[in-house]
Amino acid sequence: MIRRILFYCFVLSIPVFLGLTAWQSSRYGDLERELKKLEKTQEEWVENNKRLIAGITYLSSPDRIEHIAREQLGLHKKQPEEVLQISITDPSVVSDTVPEYSAGRTDVGVSNEDLRGSPPDTVSVPDSAYRSIAEYFEGFEAANE
């Protein structure tokens, strides 16, 4: 009797296993199609990113920016003699009452009379003067808001 029950269980389990195999095969096919779809989407995104990066490279090229600045905005590059550099120095090195002006050097003081004409390359300014300038601009921004 036990043999008979085992035989019937075995015979009935064959269609169950065949059904599970068919279901597994169907599920595998669905997942494979979904994977191909996702890979295609990923390739499209990668190609789109490549186009965007190429666009960024073109748009940020120095030649293009310079052309737009010159042609559309009317800007031009400053010549070195047109640039005035200001260095903030330690107040213990420079007197608070008389700032030290120099043309490329900090070891030579220049009087106000020497500053008439073309501007020096570098101007050393004490921290107290910087604070006054910063306070002036802070007040300017507040007044214009």
Q: What pLDDT sits at residue 107?
A: 42
Distance CA(79)–CA(77), nearest Å, equals 6
Same domain, 114 and 64: no
pLDDT tens-place string over residues 41-91 = 999 999 999 999 999 999 999 899 989 988 998 888 888 887 877 776 665
Residues 7 and 70 occupy one common structural domain: yes
57 in the same domain as 84: no
Secondary structure of residue 132 in the 3-state scheme = helix
Same-domain check for residues 64 and 12: yes
Same domain, yes or no, for 71 and 107?
no
**Helices and strands in the chain: count of H runs, count of E runs:** 3, 3
Domain boundary among 77, 93, 112: 77
Q: Are residues 9 and 39 in the same domain?
A: yes
**50: which 2 tokens?**
């490549």
Range of the domain at 56: 1-77
Per the structure, how many domains does the chain have?
2
Q: Judge contact between 125 and 84, C-beta under 8 A.
A: no
Beta-carbon contacts of residue 129 (< 8 Å; ≥ 6 apart): 96, 99
